[in-house]
Amino acid sequence: MKKGKLVLLGLLTLALVPISCNEDFLETQPLDSISADATWADGALAQAFVFNVYASLGYGGFEEEGLASLTDEAMFTHSGRGVNVITEGSLSPSGTGNVNIIPQWNELYLAIRKANIALQELPNSTFDNQTLKDRLTGEAHFLRAYYYHQLMRYYGGAPLIDAPYGLDDDYSIARGTYAENVDFVTSDLDIAISLLEGKEVTPGRASMLSAMGLKSRVLTYAASDLRDGPTASAKSATLGGYSNLELVAYTSGDRDARWNAAKTAAKAVLDATTGYKLDLTEPASAEEATETYISIAMGGGSAVGDAAARSELLFERTHSPLFTQESNWPLGGIHQGINNGPNGYHNWAGNTPIQQLVDDYQMMDGSDFDWSNEEHAAAPYENRDPRMAATILYDGAAWKPRPDDVASIDPYDEIQTGTYADGSGGIIPGVDMRDSPIENWNGSRTGYYVRKFIDPDPSLVDNQSSAQVVPWPFIRYTEIILNYVEASIALGDEGEARNWLNKIRFRAGMPALTSSGTELLEDYINERRVELAYEEHRYHDARRWMIADQTLGRGIKVMKVTATLKAGATPRTPYQYDTSVYDYTYTVVDNNDNETRTWDDKMYFMPISRDEINRNNLLIQNPGY
């Protein structure tokens, strides 16, 4: 004990002795972070910071719950996620419903702050690669514009903040008008276009074409009905009653000038690059068109399809081939197949197509599908627009090999969402329906599954033991064509509109349109609907065209398929789709077991949450709530 005291006393004495040697060891650096000075003095570290700004993009549209399920494209299979709060119109500042689908106000501003830090620091950065510095600055301008465009299209005009706040700054700032937001975003994009011109194009990173494409979208939205105050007020008493309409729309100015700006921005993209297979002079065959649209959906991220279809992508979310099987359920990205595939493959049927989407795919001759037509009703999946087969899995559709434990039930690898006579007075439930013997709680409620964006590679059998790397298309070339068509129609240039629409239709195996006037506009709206299905456009298009009451407001229709034995026929065991053995009946019914949809004009915009209103000292206003 005494010896221990002497040792302790010696250490304390040593600690009090002045040290005359070098004191640099006191200037230690943290091991788990990098200083700001170091970050902006090194090109690789500065690039890593900007990559972190990209991180706020998340999985793109490959989240477990999809925006399609807030539209007349799909419904979300699983209850209790707050989706119905949005689709049933009960959302409010105090209850905004599901927070995974809609980009949240605070999350977008966190991303904007990161972009603002980069834009503040890059001009004074000391690394000597000017090309990299310009590229990173251009990317930061693009990303700030992208996050502001998200704020604008979900919430309306937002507070415009172009520099990171310090601790002692005044945080009080009112929302900018919608017009001011458009000007701010397009200014950022013009800078990005200038700085990114001639720079290397890297999948997953912004390029000059990314910025040009986003500018086309922003200006197309800005010219639309919802964003023109007089038009919006005439179409909606709710919007007409807003005391602060300027937060969500232009209240003055020349709308034709806005359409001309949108047309010019879109044409600049069309002149700068080309898409995929848009040079046909007549419709492709149905088989070729189906393969083309599978390739477009894969975006070069699958062993199946033509990798050249990547040329459609102007800005995408790439995914890594690295995969670690998770103990918790997957959330998105590489798990798109698990989230949305059939339960007969041990998948979860997340965002399943509804009948209204299926019905809007035309017949191959260009006529509308019609349930009152006996031939159509008897074989509703035959002779349809090839984009349907590339987008939707329906009863009898061929799909991937079944997992080993399911192959004995379905050795033919066909989707089964119906009920089939067993020859003894009973029925065989389809392995992919909600009465399936395989995880019935994950069965589709609509009679369909989405195929688009799920890798059809047969080596990815159940999507559980490996993962897909299909990219998410934030912006693709064909969207810009459609923007150009819309502006051309608005400005009366119908010949140009038909010319570009028919490029898309020929690629899809569909005949040329010859319509004009109101009919041409309706054809365009439907063409955009089926071309961009599941790409997060329908939610915004229905609102900006102010037709959401006719889309979401229609509720949900679903399909019931039944098969009875033909006279004298012997049932297929195991069951297989066979029109020589079975008579199939297709019945469209209302969905009544998951959500009841409605429309209220306040739903044109998402409410800003009560927490954000309180945090910003009531300077944030919620039009319509």
pLDDT at position 595? 87
Rounded CA separation 13/79 (Å): 69
Q: Please determine, for residue 94, whether its predicted confidence score (pLDDT) is greater than 70.
A: yes
pLDDT, mean of residues 464-486: 93
For the cut 60, the answer to whether the pLDDT of residue 48 exceeds it is yes
Percent of the chain with pLDDT over 70: 92
**pLDDT tens, position by position, 272-316:** 999 999 999 999 999 999 999 999 999 999 999 999 999 999 999
pLDDT-derived band of residue 24, with 50, 70 and 90 as boundaries?
low
Helix (H, G, I), strand (E, B) or coil at 281: coil
Q: Where are the alpha helices (DSSP H) in 273-361?
A: 286-298, 336-340, 355-359
Cβ neighbours of 104 (radius 10 Å): 18
Confidence of residue 34 (pLDDT cuts 50, 70, 90): low
Q: Work out the pLDDT band at 540, boundaries 50, 70, 90.
A: very high
591, 556 contact by CB (below 8 A) = yes
Residue 451's nearest CA partner among 358, 325, 557 is 358
Q: DSSP class of residue 593?
A: S
- Residue 161 predicted with pLDDT over 60: yes
What pLDDT, on the 0 to 100 scale, is given for residue 12?
A: 32
CB 534 within 8 A of CB 74: yes
> What is the torsion angle, in degrees rounded to the nearest 10, for the CA atoms of residue 535, residue 541, residue 543 and residue 549?
-90
Q: Name residues whose C-beta falls within 8 Å of residue 571's C-beta, 6 or more positions apart in sequence.
A: 420, 421, 422, 423, 428, 565, 581
Phi, psi of 579 (to 5 degrees): -75, -10
In the predicted model, is pLDDT for residue 148 greater than 90? yes
Neighbours of 179 (CB within 10 A): 19
pLDDT digits (tens, 9 = 90+) for 543-600: 999 999 999 999 999 999 999 999 999 999 999 999 999 999 999 999 977 889 999 9
- Contact between 89 and 569 under an 8 Å Cβ cutoff? The reply is no
DSSP string, 451-479: -TTS---TTSSSSSSS---PPEEEEEHHH
The model carries a pTM of 0.93
Percentage of the chain exceeding pLDDT 90: 84
Helix (H, G, I), strand (E, B) or coil at 537: coil
Give residue 106's pLDDT.
95
The b-or-e profile of 590-618 (16+ CB within 10 A means b, else e) is ebeebbebebebbbbbbbbbeebbeebee
Tokens of 60: 């793109």
Cβ count within 10 A of residue 240: 14
Tokens of 133: 């510095």
Mean pLDDT confidence for 373-399? 98
What per-residue string of b and e applies to 376-389 under the rule 16 or more CB within 10 Å gives b? beeebeeebbbbbb
Q: What is the 3-state secondary structure (H, E, C) of 124-193?
A: HCCCCCHHHHHHHHHHHHHHHHHHHHHHHHHHCCCCCCCCCCCCCCCCCCCCCCHHHHHHHHHHHHHHHH
- Quote the CA–CA distance of 448 and 418 in Å, as a whole number: 10
What is the pLDDT at residue 21?
A: 47
pLDDT of residue 27: 52
Three-state DSSP class for residue 551: coil
Tokens of 325: 């099987």
Q: Which residue has the tokens 């399943």?
A: 352
| Cα 151 from Cα 89, distance rounded (Å) | 20
403-433 pLDDT, tens per residue? 999 999 999 999 999 999 999 999 999 999 9
What is the rounded distance in angstroms from the CA atom of residue 103 to the CA atom of residue 151? 8
Tokens found for residue 511: 């005949």
Long-range contacts of 428-435 (CB under 8 A, 24+ apart): 428/571, 428/575, 430/344, 430/395, 430/561, 430/575, 431/343, 431/344, 431/406, 432/342, 432/343, 432/344
The CA distance from 235 to 70, in Å, is: 22
Question: Which of the four pLDDT bands, split at 50, 70 and 90, describes residue 320?
Answer: confident
State the Cα–Cα distance between residues 581 and 573, nearest whole angstrom.
Answer: 12
> What is the pLDDT of the chain when averaged over all its residues?
92
CA angle 469, 475, 479 (to 5 degrees): 125
The yes-or-no verdict on residue 26 having pLDDT over 80 is no
Higher-pLDDT residue of 217 and 8 is 217
pLDDT of residue 13: 35
- Grouping H, G, I as helix, E, B as strand and the rest as coil, residue 77 is coil
The token pair at 202 is: 């890297």
| pLDDT of res. 228 | 98
For residue 237, which amino acid is it?
A
The CA–CA distances, whole Å, from 101 to 96, 127, 171, 282, 514 equal 11, 39, 28, 39, 38
What's the CA gap between 167 and 332, in Å, rounded? 36
| Cα–chain center distance at 88 | 21
Residue 16: predicted pLDDT: 34
Structure tokens, 507: 């690629």
Tens of pLDDT along 216-228? 999 999 999 999 9
How distant, in Å, are the alpha carbons of 66, 149, 179 from that of 537? Answer: 12, 14, 22
- Inter-residue contact 371 to 362 (CB < 8 Å): no
Q: What is the pLDDT of residues 584-595, one digit of tens each?
A: 999 999 997 788
12-16, 313-317, 460-464, range with the lowest pLDDT: 12-16
Q: What is the DSSP letter of 608?
A: P
Q: How confident is the model at residue 30, as a pLDDT? A: 53
Residues 6+ apart with CB under 8 A from 251: 229, 230, 245
In this predicted structure, the answer to whether residue 5 has a pLDDT above a threshold of 70 is no
Among the ranges given (21-35, 56-70, 77-91, 507-521), the one the predictor scored with the smallest mean pLDDT: 21-35
Q: Cis peptide leading into 574, omega within 30 of 0?
A: yes
Mean pLDDT of 40-63: 96
Has residue 618 got a pLDDT over 70? Answer: no
pLDDT value at 172 more than 90: no
What pLDDT does 33 receive? 58
Report the Cα–Cα distance between both ends of the chain, in Å, rounded: 75
In this prediction, residue 266 has a pLDDT band, given cuts at 50, 70 and 90, of very high
Predicted confidence (pLDDT) at residue 145 exceeds the cutoff of 50? yes
Residue, of 243 and 484, whose pLDDT is higher: 484
pLDDT surpasses 90 at 625? no
Rounded to whole angstroms, what are the CA distances from 545 to 225, 344, 370?
Answer: 6, 39, 25
Q: How much is the pLDDT for 107? A: 96
